[in-house]
Chains A and B, each alone.
Chain A
Amino acid sequence: MPACVRAGVDRMRIAPAYRTVLYILALMILGVLAFITYTDLHYGWSQAFNIVFIGFNRTLWGIGLAILVLMCVQRYWGVVRTALESPLWAPFARLSYAAYLYHLVVLGIVYMSQQSNYTYQFATAMYFFIGHTVGAYIIAFAHYMLFEKPLLNFEAMLLRRYAPQ
């Protein structure tokens, strides 16, 4: 759970049936939005569906994530909450913003230095995906150690020095 959000003492009371409905709803929203592009790739979408998708996809994704976060903040959904609270995520969470910024650089370096076209196929795309992810995180780690953490330390020193007594 993000350290910045705390549920209050008056925890939201939600009946188990409604919690199940919300769980399935959030899972369906996130799952459908994650995998629906398969139908675009293989069958194509009508113009009407393209407009509906553009109109709602980002907001719907936000609603799915909001349900998930709200339920976890209210200390429901034990399995999901325990998985997301795991300290294993902490290093990746610290690097995620830098990895987000640098993954475009990695993509640009890899794709713009291609000497020839390559055939798009599942295994190749999968290996590119893994490579881009690892590459972005390696650069993000260097960025974190060289710039982000030293500046955070500096900021902490400054804030301690000038903290209101």
Chain B
Amino acid sequence: MDSHSYDMRLPHDSLPSSLTELIGYVHVVCALLACIGSNLGIAWDNDLYAYPFLEALHDPRGAPPGGDIMTLIYMKPWTRAGPYLVGFISAYITLDHGGTAA
């Protein structure tokens, strides 16, 4: 099964590899910050509760006010991309140390 193993690092003849690595890291970190920022901003703007059903247990009026976390956070890709982008960084670190991915 493991007979096909590829070095996933792309060949860059024109740019030094340290620069392309830096560009990669900067892109992913910017995307991560955008993801966290969109989560914070959407939650702030709509007074979201992380777990509305749990909050409703404490609220004597029943369901608390606030937007719909299901449609605003749970179903949107830009709020869910964080772990995916962390995976990018993990892959960069593995490949930087001579790892391979197949």
Report yes or no: A55 in contact with B36, Cβ–Cβ below 8 A: yes
Residues in B neighbouring A17, C-beta threshold 8 A: none
Query: 14 A-B Cβ contacts within 8 A?
Result: A6-B99, A6-B100, A6-B101, A7-B97, A7-B99, A10-B98, A11-B97, A12-B93, A45-B49, A54-B73, A55-B39, A58-B80, A58-B83, A62-B85
With A55-B39, A61-B83, A63-B86 known as contacts, the answer to whether A4 contacts B101 (CB < 8 A) is yes
Tell me if A96 counts as interface (CB < 8 A to partner B).
no
Binding site for A on B (CB under 8 A): 1-2, 5, 32, 35-36, 39-40, 42-44, 47-51, 54-55, 57-58, 69, 73, 79-80, 82-87, 89-90, 93-94, 97-102
Chain A proximity of B91: nearest CB distance (Å): 9
* Docked complex Cα distance between A121 and B87 (Å): 37
Tell me if A158 counts as interface (CB < 8 A to partner B).
no
Report yes or no: A53 in contact with B98, Cβ–Cβ below 8 A: no
Binding site for B on A (CB under 8 A): 3-12, 37, 40-41, 44-45, 47, 50-59, 61-63, 65-66, 69-70, 73-74
Report yes or no: A59 in contact with B86, Cβ–Cβ below 8 A: yes
The B contact surface, by secondary structure, is helix
Report yes or no: B51 in contact with A40, Cβ–Cβ below 8 A: yes
* Docked complex Cα distance between A47 and B99 (Å): 43
* Docked complex Cα distance between A53 and B52 (Å): 13
Chain B proximity of A15: nearest CB distance (Å): 16
* Docked complex Cα distance between A67 and B47 (Å): 32
Residues in A neighbouring B94, C-beta threshold 8 A: 5, 7-8, 70, 73
